[in-house]
Structure 1
Amino acid sequence: MMSYTMQLALLACMMLIVMSLGWEWQRRHQNAGIVDVLWAIGLGLGALLMAFTGRGATLPRTLLALSGSAWSLRLALHLWRRVQGEPEDGRYRHLRTHWRGNQVNFFLFFQAQAALVVLFALPFMAVAANPQSTFTIWSSVAVGVWGSSVALESVADRQLAHFRADPANEGKVCRAGLWRYSRHPNYFFEWLHWFSYVALAVGSPLGWLSWSGPVLMYVFLRWISGVPYTEDQALRSRGDDYRAYQQSTPMLFPWFPRSNVSRSSS
């Protein structure tokens, strides 16, 4: 059993090393997309670390270890396939151009992601401190929210990957499946999944910290590193077709598209 400070300090040290190795990989391969893979892996490590060193009951810590590691593994493998099989993501190519390849900036960027892993591990710490030893209605809510959101995020990822794999769709906007109802269904279900840790932390003395997950994830996805960068890149690569998509389709929360907006083809 570790103190909360020791848990966070150990995770910070681990992520400093992981992201330093990732920066070196990026430098050799000229592909900064590895940072997303390592961010996902880092959160899985954070969930496991908190679960094994937490002071709460066995049940919430076990559910945390299983859910956190499974989510991390799925996302990391999905992102790794993209990094390994495609050119560097346009968002990072844009940064590379903007920074003129300055590796100091890239190193600081990777370390900032390490710090974010520690920040996003706070909900895990809250769950791992939960003394609730029996399976409750909140445990059921957590399992339901986690299972449905991760499954639907996987569906959205597969739909986009299938669309992008067809050469005939080069330069076009994916409007298939879940992408018809949200411009970023993968982000939406990623955000939704964080509420499962809020449910798992009900009864924990640190329960209030669990809300940092969905709150911070929404802020980052909506205004900082998710939607803004992704949409800027989409506008650069897809132009008017994406502008029409923006006008017809909700940004994040899925809803029916507006049918009275004309769509230009690209």
Structure 2
Amino acid sequence: MGIVLVIVVAAVGLAATMAAAWLVAMSSGRSGWVDAIWSFAAGIFGAFVAVVAQADSDNNQRQWVIAVLALGWSLRLGFHIVARTIGSDHDDPRYAQLKQDWGMDFKRRLFWFLQIQAVAAFLLVMSIMAAAHNPRSGLGVADWVGIALILLAVGGEALADRQLQAFRADPGNRGKVCDIGLWGLSRHPNYFFEWLGWVAYAAIAVGSPSAYPWGFTALAGPALMYWLLVHVSGIPPLEAHMLRSRGDEFRRYQARVNAFWPGAPRQAIVSGGR
């Protein structure tokens, strides 16, 4: 299938998938399903553009490696969110806050919000496509660096998720802030590793810039993901919820541990609810 047609199919497919996610959220009353569907869609369409699009200079080995990595990331994250959604008796706090803020206009605004998520997924899928269709022969150093980064990212995110799950499962930690393991190095280690995975595709795509200038388009992946996670739909609404529910304890955690980049904790001095 030609590259242009594959791009059109991916764009339309992602828009339709997020429209379906809106229907699921409305019918179930659980917005957590949205993130699971988005994760599955990004991985499936990423694999689709990696292997279905064909160009004369393609390296089939790289195409299939990228497709498998994209699907592996997608399935791990998607099923984790599915399990979290099924096991929780309340809605995702970020979407719950949007429902409160948007009031009677929630249904309409959520639909278009999810279409924006479809656009974001499309840009990320294009990063996967840029990496998969790098025409460089064989698998070189850049490919192995990218593969290592993706494996590290998926493993690190899975470890962070397990540590948080174990912390929450202990009744003695009810109402406390998780600061064990990776959560003592970053307040959002799962977001950091999520971002790192998109850096991997850029590393593979830009491995031979003089021969493949289109590889630079893959830089949109980590740039977009960083902006979304750190400044838009990730850290800001989640930390606003944590401040409402955990108060000064979370403020002390904020003062002690980096928000995104892992690093050694600092001594916290927080008083007066400031």
Q: Normalising by structure 1, what TM-score?
A: 0.94
Contact 1:64 1:127 in 2 (8 A): yes
Amino acid at match of 2:97: H
| Cα displacement string for residues 168-199 of structure 1 (whole angstroms, at most 9, x for unaligned residues) | 22221000100011101111111111121112
Divergent runs of 4+, >6 A = none
Task: Write out per-residue CA displacement over residues 227-262 of structure 1, whole angstroms, 9 at most, x where no aligned residue.
Answer: 111111111111111011000111111111113536
Q: In the alignment, residue 78 of structure 2 is paired with which amino acid?
A: A
Counterpart CA distance in 1 for 2:83 and 2:268 is: 37
SS at match of 2:148: helix
Within-5 A mapping of 1:86-97: 86=88, 87-97=90-100
Q: Which moved more, 1:177-186 or 1:107-116?
A: 107-116
Q: Which moved more, 1:84-93 or 1:64-73?
A: 84-93
- Check if 1:161 corresponds to 2:162: no
SS at match of 2:103: coil
Q: Could you tell me the percent identity over the aligned residues?
A: 37
Q: Alpha-carbon deviations, 1:116-147, whole Å to 9, x = none?
A: 11111121121232112312111211121111
Q: What is residue 18 of structure 1 aligned with on the other side?
A: 17
1:259 equivalenced with 2:261 (yes/no): no
Aligned-pair Cα RMSD in Å: 1.7
SS at 2:82's partner residue?
helix
Distance change in 2, residues 1:155/1:116 (3 Å): same
Query: Residue 102 of structure 2 corresponds to which residue in structure 1?
Result: 99
Q: Any gaps of 5 or more consecutive residues in structure 1?
A: none
C-alpha separation in 2, matches of 1:145 and 1:12: 27
Match runs of 1:130-145 below 5 Å: 130-145=134-149
Contact 1:43/1:120 (<8 A) preserved: yes
Aligned residue type for 2:225: M
Query: Which amino acid in 2 is paired with 1:17?
Result: A
**C-alpha deviations, 1:144-163, integer Å up to 9, x for none?**
11111211111001101111
Contact in 2 for aligned 1:124/1:210 (Cα 8 Å):
yes
Name 1:85's counterpart in structure 2. Answer: 87
TM-score, reference length from structure 2 = 0.91
Contact 1:130–1:205 (CA under 8 A) maintained in structure 2: no
C-alpha displacement at 1:263, in angstroms? 9.2
How many correspondences in the alignment?
A: 263
Stretches of structure 2 that go unaligned for 5 or more consecutive residues are: none
**Residue 235 (structure 2) pairs with residue 227 (structure 1):** yes
Summarize the alignment of residues 30-109 of structure 1 with structure 2, pairs less than 5 Å apart: 30-54=29-53, 55=55, 56-86=58-88, 87-101=90-104, 102-109=106-113
The answer as to whether partners of 1:126 and 1:205 remain within 8 angstroms in 2 is no
Does the CA contact (< 8 Å) of 1:7 and 1:53 recur in 2? yes
1:132 aligns to what SS in structure 2?
coil
Aligned pairs for 1:231-246 (under 5 A) are 231-246=239-254
Per-residue CA deviations over 1:68-112 (Å, capped at 9, x if unaligned) read: 000000000111111111121111111111112531112112222
